[in-house]
Amino acid sequence: MNTLRVQPLTPAAMAPYGSVIAAASGGDAINGGSSRRHEAVAALDLQRDGGRAVLAVYDAQARTFPFETRALERHRLSDQVFLPLGGARRCVLLLAPAGLVAPRGEDCVALLSDGRQGIRIAAGTWHHGLLALDDGPWAVLERRGAAVDCDEVVLEAPLRVVL
C-alpha cells in the first residue's frame, strides 16, 4: 500500500494538474465601482466534441481520514471547476498527471485546500472524486455531451491518504 501525506494547495503545486482559483487583489472596477472583476480562469475547455458547459451543485458529505482508495478517474474532453459555496469548505485533491495510460500510487499527489480556494482540474488529469473535509455545497462547472467523458482506472495497490 502506498501512503500519501497531504500537502498544502498552492498555485505551484497545482500547476501540473490545473489551477487554483482564489480571490485576488486589483482587478477591473465594474458596477459603478462597487465591485472588482478578476479573471479567475482565462479559458475553460468544456466544448470539445459537441460538449456544453453545465453548472451543478454538489452537496458534499465530509470524508474521514486516513482515506483509502484504489480508484481514479479522468475527463479527457474537459476541465472541471469546483468552487466552495456558503462558507469555508475544504477538500483534498488526489491527483495524477494527464498523459498516463494507467497511473500508479507513486504518480499521485494529495493537496489540501484552505476552504476558500476553488480548483480547476485540467482535461485529462487523473483525480479522485470530491474528497470534502467539510459538509456542504460546491458549485461545479463541468461538461455534458452525447458521449460520457469519464475514464476510470483501478490502482494496482491501495492508496492511503493521510492528513
Q: Rounded CA gap, 61 and 37, in Å?
A: 31
Residue 32 phi, psi (nearest 5): 65, 25
Set out the domains of the chain in order of their start, with CATH numbers: 2-23+44-162 (2.60.120.480)
pLDDT in tens, 105-158: 999 999 999 999 999 999 999 999 999 999 999 999 999 888 888 999 999 999
What pLDDT, on a 0 to 100 scale, did the predictor assign at position 39? 78
What share of the chain has pLDDT > 70, as a percent?
Answer: 100
Report the alpha-carbon distance of residue 18 to residue 21 in Å, rounded. 10
**Single pTM value for the model:** 0.92
Q: What is the pLDDT of residue 28?
A: 86
Whether omega before 66 lies within 30 degrees of 0, making that bond cis, reads yes
Tell me if residue 117 falls in helix, strand or coil: coil
Element of type H or E holding 109? strand 109-112
15-40 pLDDT, tens digit each: 999 999 988 777 888 998 898 887 78
Instruction: From residue 5, give the alpha-carbon distance in Å to each of 65, 109, 143.
Output: 11, 8, 31
Mean pLDDT (the chain, rounded): 93
